[in-house]
Structure 1
Amino acid sequence: MQEKIKSLLQEVEAFSANDKQGLETFRLRYVSRKGVVGDLFEELKQIPNEEKKIVGKILNELKQAAEAKLLVLSEQLEATASSNVDIDLTLPGIPNITGNLHPLSLTRYRIIEIFERLGFNVADGPEIEDDWHNFSALNFPENHPAREMQDTFFIEKKSGRDSQDVLLRTHTSNVQIRLMKSQKPPIRAIMPGRVYRNEAISARAHCFFHQVEGLYVDKNVSFSDLKQTLFHFAKEMYGKDIKLRLRPSFFPFTEPSAEIDVTCLICKGEGCVVCKRSGWVEIAGAGMVHPNVLKNCGIDPQEYTGFAFGMGIERVTQLRYQVNDLRLYSENDIRFLRQFRTSNIA
């Protein structure tokens, strides 16, 4: 039996495999349980005990040699297969495919860039807010019809006299309140962020959207400052030929108040579905900060005045890229998003 084992060891050492079939033949003959080595282990049970130790030792050496040889043959075949691959070194390289910013992000960064040049800082605040910061401090009296202008997602309604309802903010004006409470004038900041309102989803409205609000509080701030600031923004965002108009309006937190319209860039002022055939599209609401709001934040309205404005980033993006359906921004359709590669956007 020892001679047979030595003969098989020589076979293992001399075996060569040129393909996967040869490798499988080697495995079945020398490594598998039903191969010749497995048969020898069965025969080992029949030999006398005094010989088992010697024969068992050389039989284990044969088994280990077969397993090591199988590994070597496998690695040799893999190396040969990879070296036989034809590579055309004259072919151009495959470029890295990078992603692109969302159109709302592109517009948001552009808005920030414009206002930063005017000296505005960027501020942020919580999306989950209490009633005081979202409504009461902004001159919304309890049960006042003005609260119904913004359908609210309430997280927790509290009934105690001194308790505050918890809600998803309906505008980023809550950040203005937090700024005025924590910082003394002069204050000049914009507040971009996501807001939530319980509205039916359509081409013109959504239950969540993005706003950027601005606030400037200092001595001798006038409505003229507000008008020139927004006029400069419109020119920078939409081009020098854009027209701007202000219409009297009402907001509880500003007085006087105005709505800001620009020429509809989709129809060029001729009238379309987006502008409701008027040739104008509203982009912002604005006004002088109400004295009650300044008082609520600990600022003396006799010494300081200020203006505030707010605009929807979706609406600005709609005009900038002439997208006529707000739902496209949140559907994550890659065919839509690929149109806004950063390198192709001015």
Structure 2
Amino acid sequence: MTDKINELLRRVEEFKPKAAAEIEEFRIRILGKKGELNALMEEFKTVAPELKRELGQQLNSLKQAATERVNALRDQMQDATANGPGIEDMTRPGSAEQLGSRHPISLVKNQIVEVFARLGYTVADGPEIEDDWHVFSALNFPPEHPARDMQDTFFIEKDPDILLRTHTSSIQVRTMERQKPPIRVICPGRVFRNEAISYRAHCIFHQIEGLYIDEGVSFADMKQSLLYFAKEIFGEQASIRMRPSYFPFTEPSAEVDVSCNLCGGKGCPVCKGTGWLEIMGCGMVDPNVLRANNIDPEKYSGFAFGMGIERIAMLKYGVKDLRLYFENDVRFLHQFDTAL
């Protein structure tokens, strides 16, 4: 019986399959219920008692060796399959790895930051989870303002109010707290509002806001800065117009439109036949905001502006559905490879 065990062990050690199916056939033939190892186990029952200890150890070693050999061969076969054909031929050219691309939101954000960096603006940052003071009170929002309602804002805690910031203006407040004029910052970041998701709205989006405070800053300075921005982003032919508006933190305030870059201002479905596309809000910093942040409004003045990065990207690249920015569909994202 010892000779049979040694012969079977030799076959196990020398077994070299060429396909995964051969490994499974070998396992069944050796370790299966009707396999050769079980046949030896049946024969083991008839041996003399004084031989059982030695032969039992040999059978256990055989079973362990056969099991380990089968598992090792399976692993080798899987590795060879994963590496693909021809892996042993090191002279073959390698397969090019498919590289990713920057997200269109990141591309547009970087472009906007670069434009304003030429005007002397630096990038400021702040937390996404904020308190009432930095999001509302320091920006002259009255207690009854609808932005303070739960249907418009994601609140985490109440009394005191802790919330997900609804705009990156909170970064402007934090900048004014720690820095005295002159201040010239650009504030990009993610913001959150309690809105139904559709092709034109989302509960998460990205804003970029700017703040400039110094002595003698005027509305004309703001208009010229925003015109420069529009021409750099949408082309030298771009023009802007300003419409009176209202924001709690600026006075006077305006909405800024840029001439439609799709129809050249002639009117099309995208601009609803007007020849203009709204891109941002702006205005002169309200004196109450300056006072709330310990800046003397008699000495200093400034302007602020804010825009949605998704909105600018939609206009720049002709994207018509806001949800595409958040789905991470590589077919959509690879369209922007050439924009790098």
- Give the TM-score, by structure 1 length: 0.80
1:202/1:276 Cα in 2 relative to 1: closer, same or farther (>3 Å)?
A: farther
Q: Does 1:337 align with 2:333?
A: yes
Any idea what the Cα deviations from partners look like across 1:13-38, whole Å, max 9, x if unmatched?
654646534564344599866222x1
- SS for the counterpart of 1:306 is strand
Out of 274, 284, 287, the residue aligned to residue 283 of structure 2 is 287
1:150/1:76 Cα in 2 relative to 1: closer, same or farther (>3 Å)?
A: closer
1:322/1:73 Cα in 2 relative to 1: closer, same or farther (>3 Å)?
A: closer
Supply the RMSD in Å over aligned alpha carbons.
Answer: 3.5
1:23/1:126 Cα in 2 relative to 1: closer, same or farther (>3 Å)?
A: closer
User: In the alignment, which residue of structure 1 is the partner of 2:86?
Assistant: 87
Aligned equivalents of 2:275, 2:264: Cα separation in 1 = 7
Q: Does 1:43 align with 2:46?
A: yes
User: In the alignment, which residue of structure 2 is the partner of 1:128?
Assistant: 129
Aligned equivalents of 2:308, 2:263: Cα separation in 1 = 20
User: In the alignment, which residue of structure 1 is the partner of 2:199?
Assistant: 203
Aligned equivalents of 1:322, 1:174: Cα separation in 2 = 30
Higher Cα radius of gyration: 1
Task: Verify the 8 A CA contact 1:246 1:259 in the aligned structure 2.
Answer: yes
- Which residues of 2 match residues 1-346 of structure 1 at below 5 A? 5-12=1-8, 15=11, 17=15, 19=17, 20=22, 21=25, 24-27=28-31, 34-36=38-40, 38-44=41-47, 47=48, 52=50, 56-61=53-58, 63-65=60-62, 67-68=64-65, 87=86, 92-143=93-144, 152-155=152-155, 164-341=160-337, 344-345=338-339
Task: Verify the 8 A CA contact 2:28 2:35 in the aligned structure 1.
Answer: no
Aligned equivalents of 2:124, 2:276: Cα separation in 1 = 30
Q: Report deviation, 1:176.
A: 1.0
Q: Report deviation, 1:219.
A: 1.9
- Give the TM-score, by structure 2 length: 0.81
- SS for the counterpart of 1:43 is coil
Any idea what the Cα deviations from partners look like across 1:256-305, whole Å, max 9, x if unmatched?
22222111122222212332211111111112111111001000111211
Any idea what the Cα deviations from partners look like across 1:146-192, whole Å, max 9, x if unmatched?
8599962252685xxxx544433322112111211222112111111
Aligned equivalents of 1:9, 1:147: Cα separation in 2 = 83
Aligned equivalents of 1:321, 1:24: Cα separation in 2 = 61
| Bigger mean CA offset, 103-112 vs 64-73 | 64-73
Identity within the alignment, %: 48
Aligned equivalents of 1:173, 1:18: Cα separation in 2 = 70
Aligned equivalents of 1:299, 1:305: Cα separation in 2 = 9
Aligned equivalents of 2:72, 2:156: Cα separation in 1 = 65
Q: How many residues are treated as equivalent by the alignment?
A: 327
Task: Verify the 8 A CA contact 1:12 1:66 in the aligned structure 2.
Answer: no
